[in-house]
Every structure is written in C-alpha cells, then in structure tokens.
Structure 1
Amino acid sequence: MVALIENNQSISNSGLLTIQTVEIADKTTAIRCLDWDRDRFDIEFGLRNGTTYNSFLIQAEKIALVDTSHRKFEQLYLEILLGLIDPAKIDYLIISHTEPDHSGLVKDILQLAPAITVVGAKIAIQFLENMVHQPFKTLVVKSGERLDLGDGHELEFISAPNLHWPDTILTYDHKTGILYTCDVFGMHYCDDHTFDENLSSIEEDFKYYYDCLMSPNARSVLAALKRIEKLNIRTVATGHGPLLQHYISEWLGLYQNWSLEQAKTETLVALFYHEDYGYSEQLVRAVAHGCAKTDVGVELVLLNSAEPQEISELVAQASGLVIGMPPQSSVNAHAALSTILAAAHNKQTIGLLESGGGEDEPVYPLRNKFQELGLTEAFPPILVKEIPTQATEQLCDEAGTDIGQLLTRDRTIKQIKSINTELEKALGRISTGLYIITAKKGEIQSAMFASWVLQASLNPLGVAIAVSKERAIESFMQVGDRFVLNVLEEGKYQGLMKHFLKRFAPGADRFVGVKTYPATNGSPILAEALAYMECEITSRMDCGDHWVIYSTVQTGRVANVHALTAAHHRKIGNHY
C-alpha cells in the first residue's frame, strides 16, 4: 500500500522506486520519481547513482502539469497526483519533449482528464498523436509565445530543438523565476536532496550527462543559452536529477564553456527551413538526422524569422548548407536567402529541396547561383510534388548522410592512416564470413553488405552485428525492428557483393536487378543466398563509430547443405 506523507517526504513500494513531493515555489509542486538502482540509460551509458524523473504541478487560477514520468512509476505517480489534485481539474499538460521517460504516462493523464489541453511544439504534438492513438485537445506553441495561468503565473516558451530530441521546448514561469528544462541541465543522479546543495558531489555526474546527451548538439546548446540569457532564473527545474538553485550561474557557465570548446572542432551543417509552410520542417529534419549519423554538427534555422546577422555568422562557420525552399510570397525568407548567398563561399557544400507547399521558390535558379559561387552539390535537388511518404523521408535521410560523408571524408582518411602498421595488420587477421542484411519497414526497404557478424547466444538463439552509425540501414536497425541475415556462398558471392557495395544515390532502390522473395517478417530474402535467418532486434550497444546490434533469430533455412559460407580475410584492420 502506498501512503503520501506530508511535504518533502518520500513514498515507496519496494524501496527501489520512491516518490518525493515538495513545494518548490508559490503554488508549484515538484513530483520527483526516484529510480534508485537503474544502472543503464538509453542503452549507451551506465549509471552509477540511479536517476530521477521530475514532473511539476502549477496550481494557479489555471492548473498546469509539466511533463509526466516513466511508465515504471505508473501506479506510484498516479496515486500521488490523485492525492494532490483531481486530475480532471488540470487545464494544461505541457510536454517538454516526447521521450518516453517523460511522456510515458500521457495516455493515463488523458484518460483521467479527457478535457485537458496538451501544450507542446508542433513536432511534439505530431509525435504524441502517433504515440497515444486517440484524439485530444492541443495548443501548439512557438518560441516567445506565452500562456497565462493567472495569479501572475505567465508561462513563456523557448524553443530548444535537438536538446536532445527535436521537439524540446523550455518553459519559464515569470512569477516564480522557474525554468522548466526537461533533459537540459539535468543529470542522472538519485538522492533525497531536492536541490544542488553540494556542487562538488554532483559535478562529475553533471559533466558525464552533458558528454553523453548534449555534447553532440553543442551548437544547439549555445543557441538555447542565448535564448534564455535575459531571463531572471531563480530555479532550473530539470527532468533528471536535483533541481538547480544554489549554483545556477556555475552550471550554465559549464554548459557554455564545454559547448564552445566542442563547437570549435566540429564540422557544421546549417539547415534552413520555413516554419508552417508545406513539409519544410519535416523534410529538413530528416536531412539533419542523416547528417548527424556521420558525426557532424547540425544547426536548424528558420528562414522566416532568423536575424540577418545570425544567418551570416552561421553560414560563415558552416561547411555544408541545406535549404528547404520557402514560399515565393515570404519577404523575410527572400531576404534570408540573399544573406545566405552573400555569406556562402566556394569551399562549402550545398543541398536544396522543395518544401511541397504549392508555391515554392524555384530550386534551379538558386542552384545555379550557388554553382556560380563554386559550391559543391552534395546531392541533386529533391523535388517534392505530393504528400511526403516514408520513401521521401528516407530519401532525405540518405541525402543528409551523403552530405555528412562528403564533409568528413578527409577526417576519415586521416583516421585510417593513424593506426600503427603492426596493429592494423594484426587486426586484419580476424577473419569473418560474408553476409547481406536486408530490411523492410513500411513501404521502404534497405540492404547492407556485412562481415562483422557472429552468433552471440544459444538460449535464446541470437546473433550480433556491427553496423556503422552512418550506414543508411541504421534507421532500420532499432529495437523491435526485424530484418533478414542472408549468408553468402563461397565461390558464388561476387555478383551480390559488387552490387551491394556500390554507392547508391539517395532514395535509390537497392534491389533493382536482384532476385528476392519476402520473408515472413516482410524483409527481402536473396534468392542467391546460401542461407537466411529472420531476426528481431532486442538491444543495441554503442561502440564508438558502430552500433552492435543484438537480435534473436526467429526462423531460417539453408539452400545447399553441402556448400560453404563465403569467408573474408582482410589485410589490415582499421577500415573496410
């Protein structure tokens, strides 16, 4: 039985999951879900001190709940919330971002409060619609917009995309000086202290969290810091770990310094789109996702509202430029394009795409101007003539990967040359088989020639595959996805190897001219394969420039029991 104890005390079930409630400001209560023994987060990194999931209730004339919690806290969280308020009286549910550890109980809240209005960025609302599969009232907010709860509690929203999800918003309460930041400025740290009383005891965890989640988006961190620099912040209400109150300037200063240092060494792609026009944001974000696979920095910029100086400075720093075409009627966007052209130079790479809004600025005249300036085209213009499909998004994702690979080519060659000669020869003596991974998700499919494959378990039957983070098929290799592992035959693999090792244009069909038939999981089976196995991904481990994908094997078949698996013998072990 769970019992609520008065103010700033804990409630628990088994001692491993507890909840702390505390009034942190006028009419503002923190609901802190403490996960004492969680030892991993997002698969990629281990935790030494557990974690917390923080949610907040503002009870002014209008009532707002800021974020929910992880599904593992379902019973505890809902009992606590019911002890604080009748959920049906909550007017707004503010979604800082839709990652499941913060939005895992949104559907439960909607059931308890069907009239509630869900507040979030446009893309967050889209994500939620796909998550909860039921209608709900929404309020889409942009950076700078405000929501008045009464009693002086006026909430201002600040866009913070890519920190570390594309839909992140920060929320500032002008009455209390509380900045609700979700993942930003947080840390995976679990103890009974609500606030950051002891800087030295948590600084290492703060840095570790930044390195794992925020450093890949250092420029987005700097952009967010700039947007909040004029706010009078008295408390930073984070989504994980203690709330920041005693050393706010120190914490924000660390983010600033770390991000500046990271941005200095980062290859940057600046991506421009027009908000609320066609499918501009959706498509440009898909390109950005592909870029990010190649370990380059990405910065998304609104053509219709960015300041000319901001655009000029960003273009001067960027190695690559991507532009989603704005409408012909947008005066501000036209001025922004002129600023981009004035700041661009011949050492940069360019990619253009239509936005599909019906009155796009023509692509080809702008393309000609960039070519006259000497910029290198990373991919042919992407022309959107109808509602984007999965195939369209995959095309944009692969185009982003192409521009990223083009920009990092010299760095990759340098890394290849950096390994000790004897070491690379030794690594090359690790022999492997030859395989082709094939996958289908919805209407799109992909394939990858692979050699880093091994059987990883007997019970259950499982295999492990190393997949480079910049491979196009990486998007098909998430937990829960299914694929086919095709085993190639010694002496009969050369044609398939030549076909699947060639470079495909973004969006190209990788199976043209290849005989296949569908597996029970929908993925293509290669007719010329020696054997195949149908697999389902159960976990992923971050191994630097590769993911190690572990999958259970569902079924399989051998075409020729007398034939041998094709073997791969390398001469060197620092690239393939």
Structure 2
Amino acid sequence: MSVINTSSLLENKNLSIFEITENFICIRFLDQNKERFELEFNLEKGTSFNTFLIISYNDFFIIHPPEKEYSKLINEVISNFHDEFKFNKINIITGHVNPKIIETIKLISVQFSNLTLTCSNPGFKLISELWNQKNPNLKTFIERELPVINIVKKELYLELENISLKLIPVPTARWPGGLIIYEENQEILLSEKIFSAHLASEEWSETNRMSTEINRKHFYDCLMAPMSNQIVSIAEKISELDIKTIAPLHGPAIEYSLKSFLNDYIRWGENLSTNNSKIVLIYASAYGNTASIGDALAKGVNRTSVEVESINCEFTSNDELIKSIQNADGYLIGSPTLGGHAPTPIVSALGTLLSEGNRDKPVGIFGSFGWSGEAIDLLETKLKDGGFTFSFDPIRIKFSPNKPKIKELEEIGTHFGRKILKKAKQKIRKSDTGMISSKTDPTLQALGRVLGSLCVLTASKGKDENNVKGAMLASWVSQASFSPPGLSISVAKDRSVESLLQKGDSFALNILSEKDFREPLKRFTKPFSPGEDRFEGLDIELTPNDQVIIPESLAWLDASVKERMECGDHWVIYAEVLHGNILKSDSLTAVHHRKSGANY
C-alpha cells in the first residue's frame, strides 16, 4: 500500500490518500472531533470516513460517498481527478444511505450532471424517500432531479479495467440499504459499516489486531448487538471469500489475523443469541435521530444480559414482526414525526403490536421530532387505551440527543432490562423445586469472605453541555502494581458508570472511612433514576484531572484506565494512579463484609 505523494490534496490535514492498486484509490476523510455526541463515539478518538475511487476507461466510480461535512473536499478530489483523466461519467455506488450522504450526492450532481447511482433495492427506496425531503437538521436544501439508478437485487458483478467488483446486498435493521463490495483481484472487501471502528487513523491499516480490538468491539456493542443474528449470518457469508484486506467505512483497514477476527465477530453475535429474556425494538427513522435514541436504549438493555432484537418496520414483513412480538418479553417502539404524522409503516406496526402484544409485558415509547411530536402522542394514546403498561415516561427528543441525554437513555434502557429480568427471576423462583440456595452453598460462602475496601468510584467526562458524570459504590478493589502504581476494579456490566471507564478515561476512587461511611453508603446504594444527578447537594471538590472528590472520604486516588478485561458479568479495569491524598489520617479504611459470593 502506497500513499500518493503527487497530489496537492495532501496539503489538507483532514485527508489521506492511499493507492490500493493502479486506478483504485482510497480517500480517507479524517475528523479529530472528540466531542461528538453519538453513542458509538464515546471512546473519543475521532473518526474517519473511507471513500473509494476507481478510474476505468471513461468512467469514474465513487464507492461509499462521504457525508455532507466532507462534500467540499470530495468535490475537490473529483475535480483533481477529472483534470487528469478527463472522464465523461460518474458512477456512485452506495449502500449506507442517510440525509447527509444524499446531500453530498446532490452536490456532486450539481458539479457533474452525467451521474448514475447504484444501490440495493432497500437503498433505492430510502434514496427515493429522502431525495427531495427537507431535513430539519440541515440549513440548506438542494432540489435536484433524481439521477438514473441501477438497482442491485442480488449479487452483481462489475468487470472494470483490471478490476473485478462483486456487489453484495447485506440488509440489516439499522442499515437496510447495506451493500458491501468485494474486489476479487486484490482480494479486498469494502465492508461498509460492518467491522468499523471510530478512529482518526492516518495509517492505511492497523498495526496489529490488538491495537484496535477494543474500538471495534465498542462499535459492535453500540450498533451491531441489537441485530446480532443478521450480523452473524453476514460474517459467516463473508468468511467464505478469499480476503487479504477488510476496508470498512470507518477506521483503518484490517490485514492481520483476518480469520480470527471474523470468528470473533461471529462469536460476539452468538454469545448474544442465548435463551435469555428478549425485548423487541420496533422503529422507523427518517433522518437517523429516532434510530440513535433506539441505539442508546438497546445498549442499556444489553448491559443487563437481556437480548434486543432490532426491527426497522419499514423493511420487515408483517409475519416477521408478529413472530418477534409473540416471542418478546417486552416492547420498545419509536417513531419520528413527519408532517405532523407518524410514518405509515409505524402506524401499521403499532396495529400489529396492539393485536399481537401481551398486555402483561412492559412497553416503552420514544421518538424524535423537529417542530411537533404527534407521532409520539399517537403511540402513547393507542397503547394506553389498549391496556399496555408503560415502563417509563414517553421519550420525546427534539432533533437528536446530546451526550448527557444519550447516557440518560442508556440508563433508561438498563432499568427496562432489569424489570424484564426481575419478572423472569420471579417465574424461576415459582418453579424452583428445592435446589440448594446460593446462601447455603459453601463455595459461595467462602468466596464471600474475600474482603475489599469500601469506596465510591466517581467519573466525569466531557465539557460544558457534553459533560457526563457517574458514580457507584465499589468494594471489589485491589492494588495491582507498584511501578507504575496501579489498581484493579471490578465493575458490573449493567452499571451506568461503566461507559465512562473506557481506555484513556479518568476517574476518582474515594476510599471511605470506617467512622464516616454510612452517609455515602446510603446515598450511593440507593437506586438512581435515569439522568439523576448523583452529586446533588454535595459539597464536592475536584482532583487535578477534574474528577469528583466526595465529602466523608478518608482518601482519594485520581487514576487513568489503561486496560479492560471482560470477565463474565463484570469488567475488570486496570488503572494507573496519577494523584492522591489522605484526608483523614486518624481513621481506618471501611471494609465490606459479605456472607456470600453470590451477590454484593
């Protein structure tokens, strides 16, 4: 892989250009923005958008055009190549379809009128709906005639000059227009959203598997997990191809241990497809805002080990919807408001839920809107009149959620999942025929004798309106190293603060005193409502890294997360201690005594 050095475009620091082979090029648009609010950007490592260009005879192919923020750059790129190759026609191949990509395609069509689009059948439906629909998130609106569109209904081969492309539709609930592309000569897979990671990487490929694994797993957990069955099927299909390189839509290419990586993707999905409780998440999303709300709720539910099945009702048959509703232990349904109404597919799905849904199972509704929220009102009224019980107040968000709202949505999802689990456990207890209780299991009793310091972990991330805080009571804490000074903490997967403890994040460990632990114990063991301020009314101070020190602490440590390891229903976090202080030298550390290793 070589970087093209002759182009003046390389003077732009937000752009990297890689020559895959002659006349086959990757343009990587770099975004160093660390304060994006979307769920999957929580690692705050920026991102990149990979677009691919092919020059073949008199045609110029653009595969995976970027979003609107890069439209000026992509037009500059096209102009540079046009000056050199004098092509007559532009062919755009796209699977990922959203309003921002539509705007980019429109801007290209303004500059180059001889343009053809190639997409899947669901992609065609999305493009047709969005092409002249005004997006309230965008200040400008370009009205253009719909270009000529080639529809890929099954696998399609394109034989170009020294390049052989296989176009493979891969529809999913989140991205129904999904279209991956396999170049047979170079054995490279352009995998679109699948296998992506949000990293602003200037290198063509990752240095090794471990260097990006946590980023790819985070992306998977945020967006792929609710449709794990579909993703497993796609990964199994891809594994049959001879692949040397996977180049996703976001992040560096993958060239090392590809078979192992594909196996991991399949394993992650299969681990979610268990006999655990399940909820069905039904939605439609015109501009992606309602889908973002659903993503956050789903991530929160998944933390509790409850499985989420995501269904985009615009692209799901009624028979599939009925089956999912009948097999679910709870329901989430979300809708945008378009022109004062809910989209027709949501109205139809609502009718199916009313006729097939179990009134004894909890339901939650959500939606986004631009000027009004009639669709959410419709969902609320119909389900309430239909005898359903709401697990939480209807979620109404104007346009898109910010970072604190995303975290609150995750917490709502976790609360929803816990209610499902609580109901499932009640059924198990009723059917228990006298098995030995964990309270009398000698192994668990012995495990409970392992002691830990009683602490309050606090974490703060982001600035101003993007600031998010969290806290939890922690007793599974231990010093882990001398040089550098380090400690390990075990954090349950369903803890809200877990999302603030990614590699590179900072936190404070407030070690409690045996004399003064009761007040913080009472505060931080009581359940918090989603979005509730954990520190309201406290006279707090801050560490050098702006982490929260709570009153009554015996001592505090300011630490940075270096490693994370998944261990059953917990994450074990190793952190390097950077700062610390003793606040009460005349007191001893509070210790947590347990009778059983089956619970806290």
- Tell me, in whole angstroms, the C-alpha distance in 2 between the residues paired with 1:503 and 1:560: 28
C-alpha spacing 1:358/1:179, structure 2 compared with 1 (3 Å): same
Is the 8 Å Cα contact of residues 326 and 356 (structure 2) preserved in structure 1?
yes
Matched, 1:121 2:104: no
1:307 alignment partner in structure 2: 317
2:452 alignment partner in structure 1: 432
2:411 alignment partner in structure 1: 398
Residue 379 of structure 1: CA displacement?
A: 2.0
Select 1:339's aligned residue among 333, 352, 363.
Answer: 352
Is the 8 Å Cα contact of residues 119 and 140 (structure 1) preserved in structure 2?
yes
Matched, 1:513 2:528: no
- Tell me, in whole angstroms, the C-alpha distance in 1 between the residues paired with 2:322 and 2:440: 42
Residue 263 of structure 1: CA displacement?
A: 4.1
Matched, 1:575 2:599: yes
- Tell me, in whole angstroms, the C-alpha distance in 2 between the residues paired with 1:568 and 1:304: 52
Is the 8 Å Cα contact of residues 147 and 156 (structure 1) preserved in structure 2?
no
- Tell me, in whole angstroms, the C-alpha distance in 2 between the residues paired with 1:389 and 1:430: 41
Select 2:395's aligned residue among 362, 382, 396.
Answer: 382
C-alpha spacing 1:63/1:236, structure 2 compared with 1 (3 Å): farther
- Tell me, in whole angstroms, the C-alpha distance in 1 between the residues paired with 2:274 and 2:570: 24
Select 2:180's aligned residue among 153, 171, 178.
Answer: 171
Select 1:269's aligned residue among 275, 279, 292.
Answer: 279
- Tell me, in whole angstroms, the C-alpha distance in 1 between the residues paired with 2:531 and 2:490: 23
- Tell me, in whole angstroms, the C-alpha distance in 2 between the residues paired with 1:484 and 1:394: 19
2:366 alignment partner in structure 1: 353
- Tell me, in whole angstroms, the C-alpha distance in 2 between the residues paired with 1:224 and 1:436: 38
C-alpha spacing 1:337/1:62, structure 2 compared with 1 (3 Å): farther
Secondary structure at 2:395's aligned position in 1? coil
Q: What is the 5 A alignment of 1:36-435?
A: 60=56, 91-92=62-63, 121=96, 143-145=122-124, 151=160, 153=165, 155=167, 157-160=169-172, 169-172=178-181, 181=191, 220-223=227-230, 239=246, 263=273, 265-277=275-287, 279-327=289-337, 328=341, 330-364=343-377, 366-385=379-398, 387-409=400-422, 417=437, 421-435=441-455
Secondary structure at 1:555's aligned position in 2? strand
Code of the residue aligned with 2:392 in structure 1: it is F
For residues 442-484 of structure 1, give each alpha carbon's deviation from its aligned partner in whole angstroms, at most 9, with x where no partner exists: 2111100110001100100111000001110110010011111
Is the 8 Å Cα contact of residues 96 and 192 (structure 2) preserved in structure 1?
no
C-alpha spacing 1:542/1:218, structure 2 compared with 1 (3 Å): closer
Secondary structure at 2:396's aligned position in 1? coil
Secondary structure at 1:355's aligned position in 2? strand
Residue 495 of structure 1: CA displacement?
A: 1.0
1:466 alignment partner in structure 2: 490
Residue 319 of structure 1: CA displacement?
A: 1.4
- Tell me, in whole angstroms, the C-alpha distance in 1 between the residues paired with 2:567 and 2:271: 24
C-alpha spacing 1:468/1:125, structure 2 compared with 1 (3 Å): farther
Code of the residue aligned with 1:498 in structure 2: it is K
Is the 8 Å Cα contact of residues 304 and 418 (structure 2) preserved in structure 1?
yes
Matched, 1:561 2:585: yes
For residues 128-167 of structure 1, give each alpha carbon's deviation from its aligned partner in whole angstroms, at most 9, with x where no partner exists: xxxxxxxxxxx997754577977495745433468xxx99
C-alpha spacing 1:258/1:548, structure 2 compared with 1 (3 Å): closer
- Tell me, in whole angstroms, the C-alpha distance in 1 between the residues paired with 2:543 and 2:520: 19
2:550 alignment partner in structure 1: 526
For residues 256-313 of structure 1, give each alpha carbon's deviation from its aligned partner in whole angstroms, at most 9, with x where no partner exists: x998997461322221222224720111111111111112222222233432222222
- Tell me, in whole angstroms, the C-alpha distance in 1 between the residues paired with 2:118 and 2:439: 51
Is the 8 Å Cα contact of residues 335 and 342 (structure 2) preserved in structure 1?
no
Secondary structure at 2:358's aligned position in 1? coil
Is the 8 Å Cα contact of residues 505 and 560 (structure 2) preserved in structure 1?
yes
2:199 alignment partner in structure 1: none
Secondary structure at 1:286's aligned position in 2? helix
C-alpha spacing 1:185/1:500, structure 2 compared with 1 (3 Å): closer
Secondary structure at 1:383's aligned position in 2? strand
- Tell me, in whole angstroms, the C-alpha distance in 2 between the residues paired with 1:124 and 1:464: 44
Code of the residue aligned with 1:520 in structure 2: it is P
C-alpha spacing 1:347/1:534, structure 2 compared with 1 (3 Å): same
Code of the residue aligned with 1:523 in structure 2: it is Q
Is the 8 Å Cα contact of residues 274 and 325 (structure 1) preserved in structure 2?
yes
Secondary structure at 1:530's aligned position in 2? strand
Residue 217 of structure 1: CA displacement?
A: 6.7
For residues 169-212 of structure 1, give each alpha carbon's deviation from its aligned partner in whole angstroms, at most 9, with x where no partner exists: 451569999986589799xxxxxxxxxxxxxxxxxxxxxx99xx
Residue 241 of structure 1: CA displacement?
A: 8.2
C-alpha spacing 1:528/1:244, structure 2 compared with 1 (3 Å): closer
C-alpha spacing 1:408/1:461, structure 2 compared with 1 (3 Å): same
C-alpha spacing 1:261/1:470, structure 2 compared with 1 (3 Å): closer
Is the 8 Å Cα contact of residues 232 and 269 (structure 2) preserved in structure 1?
no
Is the 8 Å Cα contact of residues 544 and 579 (structure 2) preserved in structure 1?
no
Is the 8 Å Cα contact of residues 98 and 288 (structure 2) preserved in structure 1?
no
Q: RMSD across aligned C-alpha pairs, in angstroms? A: 5.2
C-alpha spacing 1:320/1:123, structure 2 compared with 1 (3 Å): farther
Is the 8 Å Cα contact of residues 169 and 177 (structure 2) preserved in structure 1?
no
**For structure 2, which runs of at least 5 residues remain unmatched after alignment?**
3-19, 27-50, 82-91, 102-116, 125-148, 152-157, 197-215, 247-253, 430-435
Is the 8 Å Cα contact of residues 439 and 483 (structure 1) preserved in structure 2?
yes
2:17 alignment partner in structure 1: none
- Tell me, in whole angstroms, the C-alpha distance in 2 between the residues paired with 1:554 and 1:280: 40
C-alpha spacing 1:285/1:62, structure 2 compared with 1 (3 Å): farther
Residue 542 of structure 1: CA displacement?
A: 0.9
C-alpha spacing 1:313/1:483, structure 2 compared with 1 (3 Å): same
Count how many residue pairs are aligned between Structure 1 and Structure 2: 453
- Tell me, in whole angstroms, the C-alpha distance in 1 between the residues paired with 2:97 and 2:439: 46
- Tell me, in whole angstroms, the C-alpha distance in 2 between the residues paired with 1:390 and 1:227: 31
- Tell me, in whole angstroms, the C-alpha distance in 2 between the residues paired with 1:141 and 1:389: 32
Code of the residue aligned with 2:297 in structure 1: it is V
Residue 408 of structure 1: CA displacement?
A: 1.9
Code of the residue aligned with 2:279 in structure 1: it is V
Is the 8 Å Cα contact of residues 489 and 563 (structure 1) preserved in structure 2?
yes
- Tell me, in whole angstroms, the C-alpha distance in 2 between the residues paired with 1:407 and 1:339: 21
Code of the residue aligned with 1:121 in structure 2: it is H
- Tell me, in whole angstroms, the C-alpha distance in 2 between the residues paired with 1:423 and 1:120: 53
Secondary structure at 2:535's aligned position in 1? coil
- Tell me, in whole angstroms, the C-alpha distance in 1 between the residues paired with 2:486 and 2:268: 40
C-alpha spacing 1:114/1:418, structure 2 compared with 1 (3 Å): farther
Residue 125 of structure 1: CA displacement?
A: 8.5
- Tell me, in whole angstroms, the C-alpha distance in 2 between the residues paired with 1:286 and 1:440: 19
Secondary structure at 2:563's aligned position in 1? strand
Code of the residue aligned with 2:542 in structure 1: it is P
Residue 29 of structure 1: CA displacement?
A: 12
Is the 8 Å Cα contact of residues 170 and 178 (structure 2) preserved in structure 1?
yes
Secondary structure at 1:354's aligned position in 2? strand
